[in-house]
Amino acid sequence: MKEAKSIADKEAPLEDADGDPLPLKAELEALSVTTLAETEAAMEEATAKVAGIDANPDVIRQYEERKKEIETTRGQLEDLTNDKDFKANEINKKRGPWEQCLENAVSEVNELFSNYMKELGNAGTITMFGWHHTFTPISHFCLLLIYYRRSQARERKRRWATRR
C-alpha cells in the first residue's frame, strides 16, 4: 500500500513543493465516494467510459489539413478582395474621362435643344443622371423635359379634337 501511495504522490501530487494544496486535492475531496466499494465502482465506470472512446490516430492529421485549408482560403479571399479593389480603381480611372466627355456632349445637346424649343415658343432641357458607384450597363440616363406654352397646348387640343 505504501508503494502505491508513493507512486500516486509521484504521478499526481496533491500538494506542491511549498505544501500548498493543488486543484487535484479539491477535486478529490469533492467526490461523492467515501468507501472503498464506491471508489472501485467509480473507477470501473470511468474505465468503461474511457474504453468507449474510440481513438482516431488521423484526427491530428485531419485537423492540420483543415487548418491549412482555412489559411489557404483566407489568403485567396484576401487576394480576391485586393483584386476587386484594384479593378474598381481601374474602372474609376477609365470612367472619369468617359463621363466627362458624356457630360460635355449632353450639355451641348441640351443647349441646342433649348435653343430649338425657344424658336418654337416653348422650353426644353436635357439633363443627365447617373449612379457613380455602380458598374452596370444602365448606370446613366438622360431626362428630356419639354414645356409647352399653354396657348399652344390648347390650340393643339382644339386641332386634335376637330380632326376626329
Cell numbers 508513493 correspond to 6
Q: Which of 150, 74, 144 is nearest to 114 (CA)?
A: 144
> Alpha helix locations (H) across 120-144?
none
The span from the CA of 98 to the CA of 92, in Å, is: 10
* pLDDT per residue rounded down to tens, the chain (164 residues): 678 778 877 777 778 878 787 887 777 777 777 777 887 888 888 888 777 666 677 777 888 899 999 999 999 999 888 888 888 888 878 877 878 888 889 899 999 999 988 888 888 888 887 765 555 555 677 778 888 776 655 666 556 655 55
Q: Is the sign of the CA dihedral 92, 98, 102, 108 positive or negative?
A: positive
Which residue spans within the chain are E strands per DSSP?
123-130, 140-147
